[in-house]
Protein backbone atom coordinates (compact mmCIF):
# COMPACT_ATOMS: atom_id res chain seq x y z
CA UNK A 1 0.00 0.00 0.00
CA UNK A 2 1.53 3.27 -1.11
CA UNK A 3 1.43 6.28 1.26
CA UNK A 4 3.81 8.93 -0.13
CA UNK A 5 5.60 11.19 2.35
CA UNK A 6 4.98 14.90 2.20
CA UNK A 7 1.27 14.60 1.44
CA UNK A 8 -1.51 15.24 3.94
CA UNK A 9 -4.32 12.72 4.45
CA UNK A 10 -7.86 12.52 5.85
CA UNK A 11 -9.70 9.78 7.70
CA UNK A 12 -11.97 9.57 4.64
CA UNK A 13 -8.93 8.48 2.59
CA UNK A 14 -8.32 11.63 0.58
CA UNK A 15 -4.87 13.13 0.05
CA UNK A 16 -3.76 16.74 -0.38
CA UNK A 17 -0.50 17.89 -1.98
CA UNK A 18 0.69 21.48 -1.79
CA UNK A 19 2.01 22.85 -5.08
CA UNK A 20 2.88 26.53 -4.68
CA UNK A 21 -0.26 28.38 -3.67
CA UNK A 22 -2.52 25.56 -4.82
CA UNK A 23 -3.60 22.29 -3.28
CA UNK A 24 -4.07 19.14 -5.37
CA UNK A 25 -6.65 16.67 -4.05
CA UNK A 26 -7.30 13.01 -4.76
CA UNK A 27 -8.10 9.69 -3.08
CA UNK A 28 -5.52 7.35 -1.61
CA UNK A 29 -4.21 4.03 -2.84
CA UNK A 30 -6.17 2.37 -0.04
CA UNK A 31 -9.40 4.10 -1.15
CA UNK A 32 -9.00 3.10 -4.79
CA UNK A 33 -8.23 -0.46 -3.79
CA UNK A 34 -11.29 -0.64 -1.55
CA UNK A 35 -13.51 0.77 -4.30
CA UNK A 36 -11.75 -1.15 -7.11
CA UNK A 37 -12.73 -0.67 -10.79
CA UNK A 38 -13.82 2.98 -10.71
CA UNK A 39 -16.24 3.65 -13.57
CA UNK A 40 -17.40 7.23 -13.01
CA UNK A 41 -16.31 10.32 -11.11
CA UNK A 42 -18.48 13.33 -10.51
CA UNK A 43 -16.39 16.45 -9.93
CA UNK A 44 -17.33 20.07 -9.22
CA UNK A 45 -17.14 22.92 -11.76
CA UNK A 46 -14.25 25.34 -11.86
CA UNK A 47 -14.92 28.11 -9.38
CA UNK A 48 -17.03 25.90 -7.10
CA UNK A 49 -16.55 26.40 -3.39
CA UNK A 50 -15.15 23.59 -1.24
CA UNK A 51 -16.18 23.45 2.42
CA UNK A 52 -14.07 21.24 4.67
CA UNK A 53 -15.78 17.88 5.41
CA UNK A 54 -18.64 18.63 2.99
CA UNK A 55 -19.18 16.44 -0.12
CA UNK A 56 -17.84 17.97 -3.34
CA UNK A 57 -18.36 15.05 -5.69
CA UNK A 58 -18.65 11.29 -5.84
CA UNK A 59 -16.81 8.22 -7.07
CA UNK A 60 -18.63 5.22 -8.48
CA UNK A 61 -17.15 1.76 -8.74
CA UNK A 62 -18.84 -1.36 -10.07
CA UNK A 63 -20.07 -2.23 -6.58
CA UNK A 64 -20.00 1.05 -4.64
CA UNK A 65 -20.73 4.76 -4.67
CA UNK A 66 -18.81 7.05 -2.31
CA UNK A 67 -18.99 10.75 -1.64
CA UNK A 68 -15.82 12.76 -1.93
CA UNK A 69 -15.41 14.98 1.14
CA UNK A 70 -13.42 18.18 0.88
CA UNK A 71 -10.26 17.81 2.98
CA UNK A 72 -9.93 21.60 3.16
CA UNK A 73 -12.01 24.66 2.31
CA UNK A 74 -11.24 26.62 -0.83
CA UNK A 75 -12.16 27.41 -4.41
CA UNK A 76 -11.76 24.92 -7.29
CA UNK A 77 -9.20 26.17 -9.82
CA UNK A 78 -9.35 23.21 -12.18
CA UNK A 79 -10.47 19.58 -12.33
CA UNK A 80 -8.79 16.59 -13.94
CA UNK A 81 -10.62 16.40 -17.27
CA UNK A 82 -8.89 13.12 -18.17
CA UNK A 83 -10.98 11.29 -15.56
CA UNK A 84 -14.17 11.79 -17.58
CA UNK A 85 -12.91 9.44 -20.29
CA UNK A 86 -10.70 7.23 -18.16
CA UNK A 87 -11.76 7.07 -14.51
CA UNK A 88 -9.52 3.99 -14.21
CA UNK A 89 -6.59 6.45 -13.91
CA UNK A 90 -7.55 6.69 -10.24
CA UNK A 91 -7.03 2.94 -9.83
CA UNK A 92 -3.79 2.90 -11.77
CA UNK A 93 -2.21 6.09 -10.45
CA UNK A 94 -4.08 7.43 -7.41
CA UNK A 95 -1.43 10.02 -6.44
CA UNK A 96 -0.38 11.26 -9.87
CA UNK A 97 -2.51 10.87 -12.99
CA UNK A 98 -5.60 10.14 -10.91
CA UNK A 99 -5.66 13.53 -9.16
CA UNK A 100 -9.14 15.09 -8.96
CA UNK A 101 -9.17 18.83 -8.29
CA UNK A 102 -6.78 21.75 -7.83
CA UNK A 103 -8.01 24.31 -5.34
CA UNK A 104 -6.92 27.58 -3.80
CA UNK A 105 -7.31 27.19 -0.02
CA UNK A 106 -9.40 29.69 1.91
CA UNK A 107 -8.60 28.62 5.50
CA UNK A 108 -4.87 28.74 6.11
CA UNK A 109 -4.66 26.40 9.10
CA UNK A 110 -6.70 23.47 7.79
CA UNK A 111 -3.97 21.74 5.82
CA UNK A 112 -1.62 21.37 8.78
CA UNK A 113 -4.37 19.74 10.86
CA UNK A 114 -4.71 16.84 8.44
CA UNK A 115 -2.90 13.54 9.02
CA UNK A 116 0.74 13.05 8.12
CA UNK A 117 1.81 10.00 6.10
CA UNK A 118 2.84 8.26 9.35
CA UNK A 119 -0.46 9.01 11.06
CA UNK A 120 -2.42 7.85 8.03
CA UNK A 121 -0.34 4.67 7.91
CA UNK A 122 -1.28 4.01 11.55
CA UNK A 123 -4.94 4.55 10.75
CA UNK A 124 -4.76 1.96 7.96
CA UNK A 125 -2.97 -0.49 10.26
CA UNK A 126 -5.84 -0.12 12.74
CA UNK A 127 -8.43 -0.66 9.99
CA UNK A 128 -6.64 -3.77 8.81
CA UNK A 129 -6.48 -4.98 12.41
CA UNK A 130 -10.26 -4.63 12.77
CA UNK A 131 -10.77 -6.70 9.65
CA UNK A 132 -8.75 -9.41 11.40
Partner 1 sequence: MPEVRETPYHEIHRRNGGRMVPFAGWEMPVQFPQGIIHEHLQVRSAAGLFDVSHMGRFRLGGSGALAFANHLITNDLAKIKGRQLLYSALCNPEGGIIDDVTLYHLGDAALVVANAANAAKVWEWIAAHRPSGVDIEDLTGELAQVALQGPRAAEALPEPFGSAVRDLGYYHHTRVAWQGAEILISRNGYTGEDGFEIYVPATLAVPFWEALIEAGQGIGLEPVGLGARDSLRFEVNYALYGNELSLETTPLEAGLRWVVKFKKDDFIGKEALLAQREAGVPRTLVGFEMQAKRLARHGYPIRVGDTEIGFVTSGGYCPSLKKGMGMGYVTPEHKAVGTQLSIDARGTALAARVVERPFYKEGSVRKG
Inter-residue contact 55 to 68 (CB < 8 Å): yes
62 binds partner 1 (CB under 8 A): yes
Longest alpha-carbon distance in the chain: 43
Using the contact rule CB under 8 A, the part of the chain among 22-30, 62-70, 97-105, 114-122 near partner 1 is 62-70
Of the residues 1, 11, 18, 36, which one makes contact with partner 1 according to CB under 8 A: 36
Burial 99-114 (b: 16+ CB within 10 A, else e): bbbbbebeeeebeeeb
39 binds partner 1 (CB under 8 A): yes
Taking the least distance from each CB to partner 1, the nearer of 107 and 127 is 127
Give the H or E element holding residue 29.
Answer: helix 29-35
Binding site for partner 1 (CB under 8 A): 36-37, 39-40, 42, 60, 62-63, 65, 84
Amino acid sequence: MEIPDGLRYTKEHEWVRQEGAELVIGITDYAQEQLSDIVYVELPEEGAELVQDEPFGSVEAVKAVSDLCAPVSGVVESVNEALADDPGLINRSPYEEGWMVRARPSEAGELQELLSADQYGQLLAELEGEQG
